[in-house]
């Protein structure tokens, strides 16, 4: 039975490092990977600019397709998906439940101290609330 790895990405170097780990796990286990890009709504002072939201989502579709293609080149079955949401962490968790993911593999951005306390961490919130195991991949200096 093929299992499902959910790989949320934003196209960053950290996310690409997580993609390599997702590929390694998928190849070892024979899993497929759902590449998820969450495109945030363009909300300006409580008003959404739908044209901007759609434009960003179209751009992010390319990010998802590129990440899926990279996984395919590594020999992994992968499919891209873009969702538009207000809260990235909630969208990731909802998708994990929807697709019955067996695990989530995602990058961290390594913020610490006051920055993390003020901004928060999508990866941290996913880790704390996920119904499935989460593999968090930090970016090392060498990428």
Tell me the per-residue pLDDT of 98-137, one tens digit each, with 9 for 90 and over: 999 999 999 987 555 544 444 458 888 999 999 999 999 9
The H or E element containing residue 30 is: none
- Condensed to tens digits (0 to 9), the pLDDT of residues 17-43 reads 999 999 999 998 878 999 999 998 887
CA distances from 17 to 30, 140, 141 (A): 20, 9, 11
pTM: 0.87
Q: What is the pLDDT at residue 46?
A: 75
CATH of 4-137, one of 2.30.130.10, 2.60.120.260, 3.20.20.70, 3.40.50.620: 3.40.50.620
Q: What are the domain boundaries of the chain?
A: 4-137
């Amino acid at each position: 039975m093929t299992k499902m790895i959910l790989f949320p990405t934003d196209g960053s170097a950290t996310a690409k490092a997580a993609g390599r780990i997702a590929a390694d796990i998928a190849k070892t286990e024979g899993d497929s990977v759902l590449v998820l890009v969450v495109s945030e709504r363009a909300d300006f002072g409580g008003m959404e600019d739908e044209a901007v939201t759609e434009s960003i989502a179209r751009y992010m579709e390319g990010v998802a397709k590129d990440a899926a293609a990279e996984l395919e080149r590594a020999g992994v079955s992968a499919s891209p998906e873009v969702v538009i949401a207000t809260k990235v962490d909630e969208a990731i968790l909802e998708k994990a439940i929807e697709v019955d993911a067996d695990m989530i593999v995602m990058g961290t951005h390594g913020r610490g101290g006051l920055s993390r306390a003020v901004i928060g961490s999508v990866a941290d919130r996913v880790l704390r609330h996920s119904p499935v195991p989460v593999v968090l991949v930090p970016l090392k200096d060498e990428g």
